[in-house]
Chain A
Amino acid sequence: MYSEKVMVHFNNPRNVGEIENASGVGTVGNAKCGDIMRMYLDINEEGIIRDVKFKTFGCGAAVATSSMATELVKGKTVQEALQVTNKAVCEALDGLPPVKVHCSLLAEEAIHAALWDYAEKNHIVIEGLEKPVNDISEKEDDVSETY
């Protein structure tokens, strides 16, 4: 069902883990649908992503797309990372079964959510970055703010 590349990344995911005091952290997805991705970015003063880590709760495709997404943004500038679309992730994995394409979308959103967090922390605006809609931690914040 999965391509060889997907299986390689599922079996041996790159960049699993956490980054302490990360420049930006983004969590997207929904436990209800069975996929949650968390992306940690370490971005230096030049705006280059020095390190990236992820944790994912989800199926084989969710793990593989997270892993591939971290590979694609590592060492890139913030602007370059923004160009890593779900399509790029999909292609890099030699494709996904149709029912699993949403996993690659989640990977794109996870990068965006982490970048958004980085921008907020540093009070900057990243051109072309829209506020991610699927950010779970943000939703939780919203709830707590209403109290």
Chain B
Amino acid sequence: MNKVIYLDNAATTKVYPEVVEAMNPYFTQIYGNPSSIYSFAGEATKAVAKARETLADLIHANPEEVYFTGGGSESDNWALKATAEAYANKGKHIITTKIEHHAILHTCDYLEKRGYEVTYLDVDEYGTIKLDELEKAIRPDTILISVMTANNEIGTIQPIAEIGQIAKAHGVLFHTDAVQAFGHIEIDVDKMNIDMLSASGHKINGPKGIGLMYIRKGVKIRSFIHGGAQERSRRAGTHNVPGIVGFAKAAELAKASLGDRIAYETELRDYLIDRVLKEIPYSRLNGARESRLPNNANFCFQYIEGESLLILLDQKGICGSSGSACTSGSLDPSHVLLAIGLPHEIAHGSLRLTLSEETTKEEIDFTVDELKKIVERLRSMSPLYEDFLKKGGK
């Protein structure tokens, strides 16, 4: 059991060898600080500028609107806290959703404790927000709408262009956490009227510890990390040059493969979903069937619990994740699964499998075959399943 079947690409991805290769010289040879004057550092400065262009290109932005950060969570924190501070004179109301990543939700919680008001939009059973509810939630003192591009757990893609249009029509800033979507689906900050966008390197086969924030020209948010004058004085700290170069290389590869990758992953994902729903009784798909990240599948298996499922899958070399309480470190299962209306006991039995372009059909077949046996085994020892059978299977 040495072979690993890695189906947790929403958690993080493998760094591609080409990315490592691109990064390597910036550790040992071109190690100068891009902020330095001497010509030795000039190559590093150039590399950062070129990387900024590549990354901006992926979302159709201008390079000077892209700011490097330490990752997706920092970008999310920056967008929310700095907007709250900069626009406090206009108002203290923020609109977001119930299914955001904790980097958004916990930051909102932090702001609420400091006098800001936050509206958390509901989602429908597929995890999509309702545009009329968004529009109704906007008030004269609303300063920001923050809605994720695609959900990290259930993969549902939000109607970002429509949200951007509503935000623009009402003169409210629009931020989107695109950590799961960046490099995985088409994003155009102009067409979608996005004012701020968070993205991360390690979700697209780049390195960890590097992210970016797109900030549209004219958005008046200030520095979140104070210190040096890097990033047009908006984000202090010596540039993570190898990280930036690696992030850009990953984005370049992601752009080149985007169309083929979406087609390949979507087909394989649908094959996985179809097999599971057909062959494993009392299972359901969480999230939207169509408007969904190409690599995301999320299931619930009734009468069993997610952590047990993960441990048994792990023993077969299969890496997945779950929204059960045991994996979240609290007594409550995933807030996303509860928000789409699942009862607690069903939400505890969830499994997320996220593919990559390197995932093979053989791996999916092996996974489903093992999954069938594991679900059956856990059900055979589940008192909930026993009750269900005694009630005549209804």
Residue ranges of A at the interface with B (Cβ–Cβ < 8 Å): 10-11, 13, 16, 18, 27, 31-38, 54-63, 99-100
**Contact status B325-A57, CB under 8 Å:** no
19 A-B contacts (beta carbon < 8 Å) = A16-B380, A16-B381, A32-B345, A34-B345, A35-B305, A38-B386, A55-B381, A55-B386, A57-B304, A57-B345, A57-B382, A57-B383, A58-B305, A58-B308, A59-B324, A60-B308, A61-B326, A63-B308, A63-B381
**Contact status B345-A31, CB under 8 Å:** yes
**Chain B residues, Cβ within 8 Å of A100:** 326
Please name 15 further chain A to chain B contacts, defined as beta carbons within 8 Å, in addition to the given A10-B308, A31-B345, sorted by A numbering. A10-B311, A13-B381, A18-B386, A31-B348, A34-B305, A37-B383, A54-B381, A55-B382, A56-B383, A57-B305, A58-B308, A59-B326, A60-B326, A63-B381, A100-B326
Q: Contact size class for B?
A: 20 to 34
Bound complex: CA of A118 vs CA of B357, how far in Å? 57
> Given A11-B315, A57-B303, A60-B311, are A34 and B325 neighbors across the interface (CB < 8 Å)?
yes
**Chain A residues, Cβ within 8 Å of B348:** 31, 34
Contact residue among B324, B329, B383 (Cβ-Cβ distance under 8 Å from A34): B324
Contact residue among B311, B315, B384 (Cβ-Cβ distance under 8 Å from A57): B384
Cβ contacts B332-352/A at 8 Å (1 or 0 each): 010000000000110010000
Interface centre among A34, A60, A62 (most CB of B within 10 A): A34
With contacts defined as CB atoms under 8 Å apart, how many contacts are there between chain A and chain B in the complex?
Answer: 68
Bound complex: CA of A10 vs CA of B348, how far in Å? 18
The verdict on B74 contacting chain A, using a C-beta distance below 8 Å, is: no
The verdict on B153 contacting chain A, using a C-beta distance below 8 Å, is: no
**Chain B residues, Cβ within 8 Å of A31:** 344-345, 348, 384
The verdict on B169 contacting chain A, using a C-beta distance below 8 Å, is: no
**Chain B residues, Cβ within 8 Å of A13:** 381
**Contact status B384-A33, CB under 8 Å:** no
Bound complex: CA of A128 vs CA of B307, how far in Å? 35
Of all chain B residues, the one with the shortest Cβ separation from A32 is B344
**Contact status A36-B381, CB under 8 Å:** no
Bound complex: CA of A56 vs CA of B326, how far in Å? 15
**Contact status B381-A56, CB under 8 Å:** yes
The verdict on B37 contacting chain A, using a C-beta distance below 8 Å, is: no
Bound complex: CA of A38 vs CA of B386, how far in Å? 10
**Chain B residues, Cβ within 8 Å of A36:** 383-384
Residue ranges of B at the interface with A (Cβ–Cβ < 8 Å): 303-305, 307-308, 311, 315, 324-326, 329, 331, 333, 344-345, 348, 380-386
Nearest CB in chain B: distance from A17 CB, A: 8
Nearest CB in chain A: distance from B207 CB, A: 26
**Contact status A34-B331, CB under 8 Å:** yes
Of all chain B residues, the one with the shortest Cβ separation from A58 is B305
Nearest CB in chain B: distance from A38 CB, A: 4
**Chain B residues, Cβ within 8 Å of A62:** 305, 308
**Contact status B331-A33, CB under 8 Å:** yes
**Chain B residues, Cβ within 8 Å of A61:** 326
**Chain A residues, Cβ within 8 Å of B308:** 10, 58-60, 62-63
Of all chain B residues, the one with the shortest Cβ separation from A31 is B345
The 3 tightest CB contacts between A and B, nearest first, are: A31-B345, A59-B307, A59-B326
> Given A31-B345, A99-B329, are A38 and B383 neighbors across the interface (CB < 8 Å)?
yes
Bound complex: CA of A57 vs CA of B324, how far in Å? 12
**Contact status A34-B344, CB under 8 Å:** yes
Nearest CB in chain A: distance from B305 CB, A: 5
Bound complex: CA of A27 vs CA of B387, how far in Å? 11
Nearest CB in chain B: distance from A50 CB, A: 21
Bound complex: CA of A7 vs CA of B253, how far in Å? 41
Nearest CB in chain B: distance from A56 CB, A: 6
Bound complex: CA of A36 vs CA of B383, how far in Å? 7
Bound complex: CA of A56 vs CA of B381, how far in Å? 6
Bound complex: CA of A82 vs CA of B27, how far in Å? 63
Bound complex: CA of A101 vs CA of B193, how far in Å? 50
Nearest CB in chain B: distance from A22 CB, A: 13
Of all chain B residues, the one with the shortest Cβ separation from A54 is B381
Contact residue among A11, A16, A56, A60 (Cβ-Cβ distance under 8 Å from B307): A60
Nearest CB in chain B: distance from A10 CB, A: 7
**Contact status B383-A55, CB under 8 Å:** yes
**Contact status A34-B384, CB under 8 Å:** no
